[in-house]
Amino acid sequence: MGTLQACAENYRLRYIVGLEATDKPRTLLIGSVFHDAVEVFRKGGTFFDMIDVVGRATELSPDDVCVLTAMIEAYHQKYRREAGNFTEVEMEFYYDGLGMRDVVLAGKTDAIAKATPGHLLYETKTVARIDGGYLDRLWSARQTLIYNRVLNEMGYDIQGVMYDLVGKPTIKRLLATPAEKRRYTKDKDTGQMRLHAKQRDRDESDNEFMGRLREWYQRHPEALHRELIIYTPDQLDAIEQDVKNEVKRLQWHIQSGVWPRSLSSCHRFNRPCEFSPLCSSGGNPVVLETKYQRRDKIHSELEGRREEDK
């Protein structure tokens, strides 16, 4: 819905044609692997089971491994008593109760836990910064509003959405100072020449980097934060109507073959749209071939309905 509302052409390229950029931001990779580790934890896995998830992600750089290990250590230390205390983890659902012909709403929850009464829906996010502005935006988050509404209709009686927020460390590995930029000073005690105090003759080791990452989480306990959002009945009714309106709009685009661009969405949050190179080149085949690939699945997070569920 968000993609369609922002730019219909973006929606067509992403969900109809099924394109994705070959060069993805590493921050997305870190978030994905951390999410997989938390899934293992919520299913009753140990700390070492969570770390094994990192070890199996062969595309991670050494820096990524250190950052993820520190994130998992901090998360497990704070929430270790919750391991396995969830009624549903990564539950895929399909809902055809919108009253619209041939329309099924599909999704996958991060986790559901029992509450008194009913249940709580958990949504996990890795974020660069947790501040008041970010927390305020959670109240209008489309996905959890829809999930809350649908799960209520499915009998879960969702009492609220618990946002499980994990801030990513802001520090990076210290690297050796390039040879041409090194400056030396005479040691007052030994008289020997040594590098300036703020320069390095080697890269920081994994152990040194991990030590600073652990200290970072100790200094920033707010980096692991949970925010409970409780939606009103009016909000839940409104999001259902929003979904129906957007479905009608999508059907019109598909039937008419008209997918207008939204130039105001070409650059958002100081970053270009994923498809900006393709659009600005007029769909140049060379740009298409070198910068994009076909998705294996349009909705990669969904496994697909089983025959007995259809």
Average pLDDT estimate for 68-96: 95
% residues pLDDT > 70 (the chain): 98
Residue 2 vs residues 25, 193, 251, 290: alpha-carbon distances, Å: 20, 59, 16, 27
Q: Name, in order, each residue with C-beta under 8 angstroms of 284's C-beta and a sequence gap of 6 or more.
A: 278
Per-residue pLDDT tens over the stretch 153-198 = 999 999 999 999 999 999 999 999 998 999 998 888 888 888 888 8
Asked if 140 contacts 238 with a C-beta cutoff of 8 angstroms, the reply is: no
Q: pLDDT-derived band of residue 310, with 50, 70 and 90 as boundaries?
A: very low
* pLDDT the model gives residue 162: 97
* The pLDDT of residue 26: 74
In this prediction, residues 254-282 reach a mean pLDDT of 91
Q: Which domains can be identified in the chain, with CATH numbers?
A: 2-172+205-309 (3.90.320.10)
* Average pLDDT over every residue of 65-91: 95
Residue 67 CB neighbour total at 10 angstroms: 25
Alpha helices, DSSP H, located in 220-274: 233-256
**CA-based angle 253:141:148, to the nearest 5?**
95
pLDDT at 56: 95
Give yes or no for a contact between 74 and 223, defined as CB atoms under 8 angstroms apart: yes
pLDDT digits (tens, 9 = 90+) for 300-309: 888 876 544 4
Residue 195, CA distances (Å) to 9, 186, 191, 199, 208 in order: 55, 9, 13, 6, 19
* Positive/negative CA dihedral, 140, 154, 126, 304: negative
For residue 13, the 8-state DSSP code is: I
Q: What pLDDT is recorded for position 305?
A: 67
Helix (H) or strand (E) holding 150: helix 142-153
Query: In the prediction, which pLDDT does 18 show?
Result: 94
Per-residue pLDDT for 121 more than 80?
yes
Which CA distances in Å does 157 have to 113, 117, 118, 148, 150? Answer: 11, 8, 5, 8, 10
Radius of gyration for the alpha carbons in the chain, expressed in angstroms and rounded: 24
Are 22 and 293 in contact by the 8 Å Cβ rule? The answer is yes
144-148: long-range contacts (C-beta < 8 A, 24 or more apart)? 144/229, 145/231, 145/235, 145/236, 145/239, 146/105, 146/107, 146/239, 146/240, 146/243, 147/107, 147/109, 147/121, 148/121, 148/231, 148/236
Give the integer Cα–Cα distance in Å for 36 and 54: 9
Q: How confident is the model at residue 306, as a pLDDT? A: 53
Residue range 138-148: mean pLDDT, rounded: 95
pTM of the model: 0.89
Lowest-pLDDT range of 24-28, 127-131, 211-215, 294-298: 24-28
The tens digit of pLDDT for each residue in 15-70 reads 999 999 998 777 788 999 999 999 999 999 999 999 999 999 999 999 999 999 99
- Percent residues over pLDDT 90 in the chain: 80
How far the first Cα of the chain sits from its last, in Å, is 24
**Token pair for 256:** 């008419």
